[in-house]
C-alpha cells in the first residue's frame, strides 16, 4: 500500500529507486504546470473518441491505448468499480502485463489499483518488484515501475488506471499529472457507460421477467394512458402494445362492469391509485377485449414514484376464467355430491327400514311354526303317550329340543340385527360394576359351580350401557361356559396394554382355542367347538364384535388349547372424558 500524503516522498523514492532496498510507493505533490500542446491534443482526441460512446469495454480499451502512447508507457490497464459486487474489475489492458489480469478482481486498498481507488490519489512505485504490495504475476511479467491514478466523477472514485514500464525508468511528475487529467476525463465517460450498461441489463432482466410472466403487466402514465404492456397482457386483451400505446386504458378495456353497466372513470379502482398513491388489489372484475368479450380478471395496481412524484402505475392482472370455472365446477360437484349423499341416505334408510320390517316379520313368522312344532310334539308326547314307544318319545323330545334351539337362534340373530341399527346412547358406564353384576347372575344361576372372579375396580368408559352390557355378558358367559370343565375355574376382568394399546380384557383358564382359527372366532355361526363339547350357536362373539365396532373400538383374542382364552376390547380414546361429546 502507498504511503499517505505527508510521508517524505523523496526518501521513499530515493530508497526505492536508487538504493534498491525495500521499495515503497509514493505520491507526487500537486503541480500547476501547464500541459504541453501534444498532450492537450491527445486528450482532445480521446474526448472526441469516447464522447457519445456508451460501450464500456470500448471506452476502456481506447483509454488504455491512448494512455500508453501519450505518456508513453510500456503497459496500461483500466479497472472499473462494480457497486453490486463491491469489487474492481479489470476492463481493458494494453500489452500483456499478465495474461490472467483480465479476469482479475481487486478489493479497495489492494495493490496499486485498490490503493488509488481508495485514496483517490495517484501513486508511484519506482521499484515494483521490491514493493511489498506488488502482485507476483505482474512482477513475473517483467514490470519494473508503476504509476496508478483514480478515475473520478465529482471527486468520487469509479475506477482506476495503472501504467507500467518494463525498464527501470520511473514515471515522472509530468506523466503523473497527465495521467491524472486523463483519469478525470475518462472517469465520467466510464461511469456513464457503466450506468448505461447497468440500466440495459436491468431493462433486459425486466423484459425477460415481463415476457415470462403469465400475468398481464401494463404500465400507465399519470393520466392513465398506456405506455407498456407485456405479451401476456397483449394476449389477454387482444390488443398489441403498438395499438394501445398512448391510449386511455380505462376507456379501451375497463369501461364496463360484469353486468354490462358502464364503469365511470371516477369509480375505476385502478385509476384511484393515481390519486392516492396506494397499492390496490381487486379479486373480481372484468376487462373487455378488443373483440368486445368480457374477461373475468383479478389484478393489483401499484404507483410508480420517481423523485417523490407519482408518474404512473403498474397494473398486473390475470385471467380468472379458469378459476371461476373451477369454482363453478366445484360448486356443481358439491351439489351433486350432496344429492348423492341424500339419495344414498334415502337408500340406506329404505334398506334399514326393510331390515327392520324383515326382522319384525322374522320375529313373528319364523317363531309361529316353531311354536306349532314344539307345541304339537309335546302334546303328542303327553296326551298320546301310549300310542308312541320310547324311541318315538325320544324323537318327539328331539323335535322339541331342536325347536328350542332354533328359537334361541332366531332371538340371537334378531339381537344382532338390533345392535346394528340401534342408536348409540353414550354415557359414563362403569364396566367394573357391570361385570360384577353379570358375575353375580352367573353364580346365582349355577350355585354348584366354583368359579373365582377377579374384577378390577373403577373401570369407567363412555358408551352405550345396554350394548356394552350385552358385549360383556357374552364374553363372561363364554368364559363361564368354557371353564365348566375346569375344577378351579377363574375369570378375570381388568385393563392392560396389549398390541401396544390399552384394552379391557376378560380372561379365563378354560378350554381355550387354537390360535390357528382365531380369524374364525368373530364370524357369525362360526364355532370352534362341537355342540357336544360346549353348546352355542356362534353368534355371541359376532355380537360382541359388532357392539365394540359400533363404539369405534376393536376386539381381539389370544388363547391356547387347554390354556384358557383372553378377549381384549379397545374402545376409542377420549372415552374417559366425563363431559365428552356423544
Partner 1 sequence: MAVRNNKSILLVEDNPDDEELTRVALRENNILNDLTVARDGPEALDYLLGDDNALPQVVLLDLKLPKIDGLEVLRRLRANERTKLLPVVILTSSKEEQDLVEGYSLGANSYVRKPIDFGQFIGAVKQLELYWLVLNAPPPTD
Q: How far is the CB of 486 from partner 1 (least distance, A)?
A: 30
Q: How far is the CB of 531 from partner 1 (least distance, A)?
A: 19
Q: Residue for cell digits 372366532?
A: 521
Among the candidate windows 6-14, 198-206, 356-364, 552-560, which touches partner 1 by CB under 8 A? 356-364
Looking at beta carbons only, is 376 or 517 nearer to partner 1? 376
Looking at beta carbons only, is 38 or 365 nearer to partner 1? 365
Report the run of H or E that residue 521 belongs to, with start and end: none
Q: Does 344 bind partner 1 (CB under 8 A)?
A: no
Q: Does 375 bind partner 1 (CB under 8 A)?
A: yes
Looking at beta carbons only, is 139 or 414 nearer to partner 1? 414
Looking at beta carbons only, is 293 or 372 nearer to partner 1? 372
Q: How far is the CB of 400 from partner 1 (least distance, A)?
A: 8
Q: Does 360 bind partner 1 (CB under 8 A)?
A: yes
Among the candidate windows 65-73, 97-105, 201-209, 371-379, which touches partner 1 by CB under 8 A? 371-379
Within 13 Å and on the Cβ side, how many CA atoms surround 529?
17
Cα 225 to Cα 38, 247, 310: the distances in Å are 55, 5, 14
Q: How far is the CB of 415 from partner 1 (least distance, A)?
A: 10
DSSP structure class, residue 28: P
Looking at beta carbons only, is 360 or 517 nearer to partner 1? 360
- Rounded to whole angstroms, the Cα distance separating 190 from 85 reads 17
Closest of 231, 238, 230, 265 to residue 250, by C-alpha: 265
Q: Does 58 bind partner 1 (CB under 8 A)?
A: no
Q: Report how many residues bind partner 1 under the rule CB under 8 A.
A: 21
CA dihedral for 471, 473, 478, 483, sign (positive or negative): positive
**By three-state DSSP, how is residue 454 classified?**
strand
CA dihedral for 488, 489, 495, 500, sign (positive or negative): positive
Looking at beta carbons only, is 401 or 496 nearer to partner 1? 401
Q: Does 424 bind partner 1 (CB under 8 A)?
A: no
Q: Does 359 bind partner 1 (CB under 8 A)?
A: yes
- Rounded to whole angstroms, the Cα distance separating 462 from 464 reads 7
Within 13 Å and on the Cβ side, how many CA atoms surround 143?
29
From the list 28, 175, 403, 432, which residue makes contact with partner 1 (rule: CB under 8 A)? Answer: 403
Q: Does 389 bind partner 1 (CB under 8 A)?
A: no
Report the run of H or E that residue 130 belongs to, with start and end: none
Q: Does 370 bind partner 1 (CB under 8 A)?
A: yes
Within 13 Å and on the Cβ side, how many CA atoms surround 252?
19
What residues make contact with partner 1 under the rule CB under 8 A? 359-361, 363-365, 367-372, 374-376, 378-379, 400, 403-404, 407
Amino acid at each position: 500500500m502507498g504511503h499517505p500524503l505527508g510521508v517524505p516522498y523523496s526518501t521513499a523514492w530515493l530508497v526505492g529507486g536508487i538504493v534498491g532496498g525495500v521499495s515503497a510507493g509514493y505520491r507526487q505533490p500537486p503541480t500547476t504546470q501547464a500541459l504541453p500542446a501534444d498532450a492537450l491534443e491527445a486528450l482532445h482526441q480521446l474526448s472526441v473518441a469516447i464522447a457519445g460512446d456508451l460501450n464500456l469495454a470500448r471506452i476502456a480499451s481506447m483509454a488504455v491505448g491512448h494512455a500508453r502512447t501519450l505518456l508513453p508507457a510500456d503497459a496500461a490497464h483500466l479497472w472499473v468499480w462494480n457497486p453490486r459486487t463491491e469489487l474492481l474489475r479489470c476492463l481493458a489492458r494494453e500489452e500483456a502485463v499478465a495474461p490472467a489480469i483480465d479476469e482479475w478482481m481487486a478489493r479497495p486498498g489492494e495493490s496499486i489499483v485498490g490503493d488509488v481507488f481508495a485514496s483517490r490519489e495517484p501513486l508511484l512505485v519506482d521499484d515494483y518488484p521490491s514493493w511489498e504490495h506488488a502482485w507476483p504475476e505482474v512482477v513475473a511479467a517483467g514490470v519494473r515501475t508503476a504509476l496508478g491514478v483514480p478515475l473520478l466523477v465529482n471527486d468520487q472514485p469509479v475506477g482506476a488506471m495503472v501504467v507500467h514500464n518494463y525498464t527501470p525508468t520511473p514515471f515522472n511528475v509530468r506523466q503523473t499529472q497527465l495521467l491524472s487529467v486523463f483519469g478525470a476525463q475518462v472517469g465520467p465517460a466510464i461511469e456513464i457507460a457503466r450506468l448505461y450498461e447497468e440500466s440495459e441489463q436491468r431493462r433486459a432482466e425486466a423484459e425477460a421477467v415481463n415476457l415470462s410472466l403469465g400475468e398481464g403487466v401494463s404500465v400507465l402514465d399519470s393520466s392513465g394512458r398506456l405506455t407498456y404492456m407485456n405479451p401476456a397482457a397483449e394476449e389477454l386483451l387482444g390488443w398489441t402494445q403498438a395499438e394501445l400505446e398512448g391510449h386511455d386504458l380505462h376507456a379501451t378495456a375497463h369501461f364496463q362492469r360484469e353486468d354490462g353497466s358502464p364503469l365511470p372513470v371516477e369509480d375505476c379502482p385502478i385509476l384511484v391509485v393515481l390519486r392516492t398513491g396506494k397499492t390496490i388489489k381487486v379479486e373480481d372484475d372484468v376487462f373487455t377485449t378488443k373483440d368486445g368479450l368480457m374477461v373475468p380478471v383479478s389484478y393489483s395496481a401499484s404507483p410508480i414514484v420517481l423523485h417523490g412524484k407519482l408518474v404512473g402505475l403498474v397494473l398486473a392482472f390475470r385471467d380468472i376464467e379458469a378459476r371461476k370455472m373451477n369454482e363453478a365446477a366445484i360448486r356443481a360437484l358439491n351439489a351433486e355430491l350432496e344429492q348423492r349423499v341424500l339419495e344414498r341416505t334415502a337408500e340406506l334408510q329404505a334398506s334399514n327400514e326393510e331390515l327392520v320390517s324383515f326382522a319384525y316379520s322374522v320375529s313373528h313368522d319364523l317363531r309361529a311354526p316353531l311354536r306349532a312344532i314344539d307345541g304339537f310334539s309335546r302334546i303328542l308326547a303327553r296326551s298320546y303317550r301310549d300310542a308312541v314307544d320310547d324311541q318315538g318319545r325320544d324323537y318327539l323330545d328331539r323335535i322339541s329340543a331342536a325347536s328350542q334351539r332354533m328359537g334361541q337362534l332366531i332371538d340371537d340373530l334378531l339381537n344382532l340385527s338390533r345392535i346394528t341399527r340401534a342408536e348409540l346412547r353414550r354415557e359414563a358406564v362403569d364396566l367394573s360394576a357391570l361385570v360384577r353384576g353379570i358375575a353375580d347372575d352367573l353364580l346365582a344361576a349355577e350355585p354348584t359351580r366354583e368359579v373365582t372372579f377377579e374384577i378390577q375396580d373403577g373401570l369407567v368408559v363412555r358408551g352405550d350401557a345396554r350394548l356394552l352390557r350385552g358385549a360383556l355378558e357374552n364374553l363372561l358367559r363364554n368364559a363361564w361356559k368354557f371353564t365348566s370343565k375346569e375344577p378351579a375355574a377363574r375369570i378375570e376382568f381388568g385393563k392392560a396394554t396389549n398390541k401396544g394399546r390399552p384394552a379391557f380384557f376378560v380372561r379365563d383358564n378354560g378350554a381355550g382355542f387354537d390360535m390357528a382359527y382365531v380369524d374364525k372366532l368373530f364370524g357369525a355361526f362360526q364355532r370352534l367347538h362341537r355342540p357336544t363339547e360346549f353348546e352355542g350357536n356362534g353368534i355371541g362373539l359376532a355380537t360382541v364384535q359388532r357392539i365394540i365396532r359400533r363404539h369405534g373400538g376393536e376386539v381381539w383374542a389370544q388363547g391356547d388349547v387347554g390354556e384358557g382364552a383372553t378377549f381384549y376390547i379397545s374402545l376409542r380414546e377420549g372415552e374417559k372424558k366425563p363431559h365428552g361429546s356423544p
